[in-house]
Structure 1
Amino acid sequence: MSGGFKDSFTKEDTKEDVLGYDDTAFYYFVVSVLTCIAVPWTLSFLYSLLTHGREADSEFPRRSSEFGSKYKYCQTAAMVEKVDKVRADAKRFTARTALIYLLQAVALCFIWACIFGTMTQLGHEKEIQKFDPFEILDVTPQSTGSQIKRAYRKLSLNYHPDKNPDDPLAASRFIQITKAYQALTDEIAKRNWEKFGNPDGPQTTKVGIGLPRFLLEKENHLMILCSFFFVIVILVPMTFICYYQNSRNFAVNGVMIETLQFLGFYIGESARAKHGPELLAACAESRSMGTKPWDNAHLKKLTGHVIEHKKRVFTFPAVMKNQYLVWAHMQRQRHLMSPELQRDLDDLLRHSMKVSQAMIEVACMREWFGTAQGMIEFRRCVVQALDIKSSQLLQIPNFTEKQVELCHAASPPIHSLREFLALEPDERRKLTQMSDTELLDVESWCGFIGETIVQASIATDDEGEIVCGDVATVTVKLFRKHLAKEEALGPVHAPFFPIAKFEEWWFFLVDSGAKERIVHFERVTETERCHEEKLRFQVTKAGENNLVLHAMCDAYAGLDHKVELTFHAHAEDELVRKMPVHQEDEDLDLQPTLFQQWMGDLKGDESEEEVGSGDEAPRGPRRPGRDMKKKKEEPEEEHEDEEDSDASSSGSD
């Protein structure tokens, strides 16, 4: 067999990749990839289809909280209707939801069809493509030499590289035909093929991920290049850029960066609850909602029914519209809104909790307690649909201005929510003059709100006295008396608010000076029966210190607590603290250190070498204090030795 023929089949030859090209590996690869995609996607699709409607459990959870406590729900008619409506809407298939499910089903059917078709194609393919010269030349084993030569000439003319210069498969086919002819005519090649399955002798096997045959066809090169260019140069960078642009627009708390910048610039120390509607309407989330052509016609129906307690500052159309909607919501004028305005209002209220929390945090960072208090008041007015100048009693179910007047005219008059909750059920029945059904809602609501006790104490860790410069700790204990053991408070009673809202408490430690400065603050989101929070701050003023702890609820007006804390802080030079020394530390101080022990061993070895078997035993290590004492005594001993030597010398003289 010629050497040139063998050189064309060496490992360095680039034509070896296309020689005897086999699509079987590609089919296995496609089936594996599609199966890895189809199986989890199908299971997820079926699970979401079977559990459709349970998304409402994230807002109104049926199960217990993370601490294992069972949620207690408000059983008023309005809240039961709200919860049932949310769960029913979650189960209903909207046009958008149905379209999403349909597209997923079509995609899954297409993927499974591809898997089935590929598996069918695998059934027609050979498991392993072997070198068979008879099959390559399309002759039988009984063919004569002339028939083999005739078949070789015919095929070699069809697949000669000169006739197919741009077809790599044709070139490889020609090499394979030549190799098959050599295997049937050359004795050495034939012997190698019969023994090793290859005319060149024993060969190594290469295994890799198969690629489809059409990638090597000339007419597909332009399409493959364009697809590669589109995916690598356009699709991947654009996906990354869109994701990056979307993520960089939001802060960690879910509020847009533009909103935080706006609030940081416009919120001042004089901002109060009446500024809240305009600040909410001017945030980036609100402005992105835009306006619609029919908004002016629909807003005219609210004219004369909505009162704005603050003069407008911003004249941007979307800000003016949303500000008007917020005031209408707080004054409970939703029934006058068109369905389009109600949807816009609900979208805005879904952003209101995050935005109002950002308002409070901006005020806290600047230590403005009055501003933070005003923003919390605005937050609970939004939750309860309560006007800024309205009575707290309108939070009670079925309460109108008539019941509020009856409470004010009572003896003694009832003005606050806490005073109303302190009444007995019979007293509330006589006072409100409601029907039995309405009174049942009122009693259910009172049992759900209940009584919350807040206690606070101040101390320093491991110290009996407080000294200027210490870090003091205010321990705040919140106890919901109306909850039973292993029970947590469920979503607040807010029938006018579109989403579920859980109760939160804000603890403010305020310096009761001329300017009420926030010393420390904490936001408590736990709804368990008992909760303990620690507020730590550094004492900076010596003498009498007067602090006030304000515990404010962000869901209901009238449940706030105020605890005064007074303590005396000593100056640093007034009280000198002695560090207590334990007996174990004193005993440990008497023990030699490892270095001293090591040095003592060395000295002991040196003394043994010098003295040998002398009278004095080697001394152990000494403590530094004793060594100093010994050094102080040495001069006196030397002085005594000198006197003795003088006396002996004088005596001898």
Structure 2
Amino acid sequence: MLQYDDSAAAFVALSFVTIYIVPSWYNIIKKFKVALFSSDEEIGAISRTTAEKEKAAKLKKTSKGLKTLNSPWFLANLVITILLTVLFIWLFLSVQSNGEVNSFDPFHILDIDTGADMKEIKKAYKKMSLKFHPDKNPNNPQAEATFMMVAKAYEALTDPTAKENYEKYGNPDGKQSLAVSIGLPEFLLNVDNRNFVLLSYLIIMVGVIPMAVWSYYSNSSKFGEKDVMYDSYAWFHHNLNEHILIKSLPEVLSGSAEFRERNMTKTVEGKQEIGKILVKAKPHMQKPQFQHPVVLKGNVLLHAYLTRQTDVLSEASQEDLNFMLRYSSSLIDAMISVCKHQESLAAALNCIKFGQYVAQGMWMKDSELLQLPHFTSAEVAHATKGKNGVKTIKDYIALDNDSKKGLADFSDAQKEDIFKTCTLLPDVTIESKVFVDDDEDSNVYEGDLCTVAVTITRNNLEDGEKAGLVHAPRFPFPKREAWWVALGTTQGKIISIDKVTSPNKVVEHKIKFLAPKTGTYEFELHVLSNAYVGFDFSDSVELKTLDASVLPEYKIHPDDAELDDEPTLFEEMMNANIEDDSDSEEEEDSDSDDESEEGGIRELTAAERKKQELQNARKKAASAAGDDSDSDDDSDVEEVHAD
């Protein structure tokens, strides 16, 4: 009989507690390690220039120290884990001291010493059977179970067969294939605990578990790819199209579902602040299409950041802006994926360029030179005017340090920052070629699988060196350098667009597509940085496809032809099944024919009627000839048949 077992319950509880506390402690220790012992590089708090020192200090402040662990979810999990760890230790000590799972021991059940004589056995049995008899303990399943175990123990010590089985196999019923007990504590059988057990069961099964499942499902069902909410994807699909302009994208980003709760301004002071910032940012903004407070606030905060007017923001507004910037990279990637789904090349390129402006904290009419530290509009004007003035960041980087203009008012340390930044900014060479894999013929024919190989070479890196973090002092979070490679038609349709994240000096990215119909085609190839303005590359890729009918007829080798004729394993299995089915159908048909003949329902065919006539003639011949031989019978039959 199965019984509740405290020792088994301890083992089961120990297993379940371990399942929770092991991964929980791993995550807790990992967070503590990041908060207290992580290096500056691991959290992105590097300061290659003095312009990055302020950003690095803020990252250290927000990413290191015990204050970074001041999260409600983390603290709640920490408390639960500590309590379960205490429970784990108690269970472990309990198992160590009394860890033997209940086995059948008649002396222990009768509460007598091992080897007690028959008198003591009978006395103990009588005492315990009276104590736990069901008549004296109505509606007490624990007492009933104990009474049955007492009877079984007494039988094992008094009945010769049961005693022999117990001594041989440890059980009075003989050899058992499996010993099973219920891994639950015995107090659950106690009648006094019945209400508590039922109430606990009701709370856990009807309250806690459904609530946990609902909470997990409701949260996880909101997010799609790249941990972006489905509502954000729907918003992007509604507002992004092939005619979208870069100046409209801050408003599109502001409407993301991730910001709706955070950007809901509830105080009068907050609304007044947004109104004041709107006045200053309005000259740089496109006329807002949405007047919803959430979208308007996000749009205003983003423009304050892009136009470098964040000094007017309050601490609360600055935190809201940082919250938006934290998720901006993944949301902009989602916007690009929506454009890819819509096959709109122009919209995708605008989203990528918008991401560059967000990374550098600058806007459309700003000079590319504002990516250099300490540069303002005054330094830009000085560097771009005159005979030796430059217009692009690439041209400025190409100048010798002595020839760079706009540095007259800078200190030596500031100049070193600028020179250092020029070495950190990208210096890439883009190469592309079109070919057909595993084809010695250089021509491309209709239907061929074409490959456009794009090679990105970072000339500012040494061999074996990896690209580091983007130099973006104004962006409050670390950002990895990457490149977008897009191939599209001249009509603005996307063929392929991918983000290349490899940090190697030389990176090759392959785009594969089927060659179109016979003709000459021109495609647009774009390679854009995910974080720097002014380093984009555009080129045209020409493809000429020939008619595939001019190719020589492909002849199959005889050996290959024989292999093609051989049935595959799947075909053999299917044929075997078909044969089995046909045999079963024939048997069913024969059975049905016999049944119909017995019932006299089926109509005879012509051959069957002829056979029946022949049998009738044989019978007549046999009656006429009497006991003639078989040969005579055969001749008579033949004569009758001839007639």
TM range (shorter): 0.7 to 0.9
Q: Is the counterpart of residue 385 in structure 1 residue 361 in structure 2?
A: yes
- Alignment-derived partner of residue 421 in structure 2: 445
Q: Is the counterpart of residue 302 in structure 1 residue 285 in structure 2?
A: no
What CA RMSD, in Å, does the superposition of the two structures yield over aligned residues?
4.1
- Alignment-derived partner of residue 224 in structure 2: 251
CA distance in 2 between counterparts of 1:592 and 1:106 reads: 71
2:242 counterpart letter in structure 1? E
298, 307, 327: which one pairs with 1:322? 298
Residue 426 of structure 1 aligns to a residue whose secondary structure is helix
Q: Is the counterpart of residue 508 in structure 1 residue 482 in structure 2?
A: no
Correspondence list, 1:145-294, <5 A: 158-174=131-147, 189=159, 203=174, 206-289=179-262, 290-293=264-267, 294=269
Deviation at 1:17, TM superposition (A): 4.0
Per-residue deviation, residues 310-359 of structure 1 (Å, max 9, x unmatched): 11111111111110001101001111111100111111112222222232
Per-residue deviation, residues 29-54 of structure 1 (Å, max 9, x unmatched): 44455456556655664454345346
- Alignment-derived partner of residue 552 in structure 2: 578
Per-residue deviation, residues 189-214 of structure 1 (Å, max 9, x unmatched): 59976995799966556343432111
Residue 438 of structure 1 aligns to a residue whose secondary structure is helix
Deviation at 1:181, TM superposition (A): 8.0
- Indicate if the aligned counterparts of 1:60 and 1:83 stay in contact, CA closer than 8 A: no
Change (3 A) 1:132 1:439: same
CA distance in 1 between counterparts of 2:404 and 2:75 reads: 55
Per-residue deviation, residues 59-101 of structure 1 (Å, max 9, x unmatched): 6569xxxxxxxxxx77221224423532343221127537767
- Indicate if the aligned counterparts of 2:44 and 2:59 stay in contact, CA closer than 8 A: no
- Indicate if the aligned counterparts of 2:110 and 2:128 stay in contact, CA closer than 8 A: no
Change (3 A) 1:464 1:114: closer
**Could you tell me the TM-score, scaled by structure 2's length?**
0.74
- Alignment-derived partner of residue 536 in structure 1: 512
Per-residue deviation, residues 217-259 of structure 1 (Å, max 9, x unmatched): 1122233233333333443333333323322322223222222
- Alignment-derived partner of residue 622 in structure 2: none
102, 106, 115: which one pairs with 1:131? 106
2:459 counterpart letter in structure 1? K
- Alignment-derived partner of residue 599 in structure 2: none
CA distance in 2 between counterparts of 1:142 and 1:572 reads: 102
Change (3 A) 1:132 1:537: closer
CA distance in 1 between counterparts of 2:83 and 2:365 reads: 61
Residue 201 of structure 2 aligns to a residue whose secondary structure is helix
Residue 224 of structure 2 aligns to a residue whose secondary structure is coil
Change (3 A) 1:505 1:408: same
Deviates more, 1:45-54 or 1:350-359: 45-54
- Indicate if the aligned counterparts of 2:489 and 2:495 stay in contact, CA closer than 8 A: yes
327, 337, 354: which one pairs with 2:330? 354
Per-residue deviation, residues 385-408 of structure 1 (Å, max 9, x unmatched): 111211111111110010111022
CA distance in 1 between counterparts of 2:477 and 2:455 reads: 29
1:460 counterpart letter in structure 2? V
CA distance in 1 between counterparts of 2:513 and 2:462 reads: 34
- Alignment-derived partner of residue 593 in structure 2: none
Deviates more, 1:174-183 or 1:333-342: 174-183
Q: Is the counterpart of residue 401 in structure 1 residue 348 in structure 2?
A: no
**Could you tell me the TM-score, scaled by structure 1's length?**
0.73
529, 534, 537: which one pairs with 1:561? 537
Change (3 A) 1:254 1:161: closer
For structure 1, the 5+ residue unaligned runs are 1-15, 63-72, 597-653
Aligned-pair identity (%): 28
Change (3 A) 1:59 1:325: farther
8, 23, 28: which one pairs with 2:6? 23
- Alignment-derived partner of residue 65 in structure 1: none
- Indicate if the aligned counterparts of 1:542 and 1:568 stay in contact, CA closer than 8 A: yes
CA distance in 1 between counterparts of 2:122 and 2:240 reads: 95
Per-residue deviation, residues 358-391 of structure 1 (Å, max 9, x unmatched): 3223333334333222222211111111112111
Correspondence list, 1:56-135, <5 A: 60=43, 75-94=48-67, 96-97=69-70, 106-118=79-91, 130-132=105-107
- Indicate if the aligned counterparts of 1:136 and 1:177 stay in contact, CA closer than 8 A: no
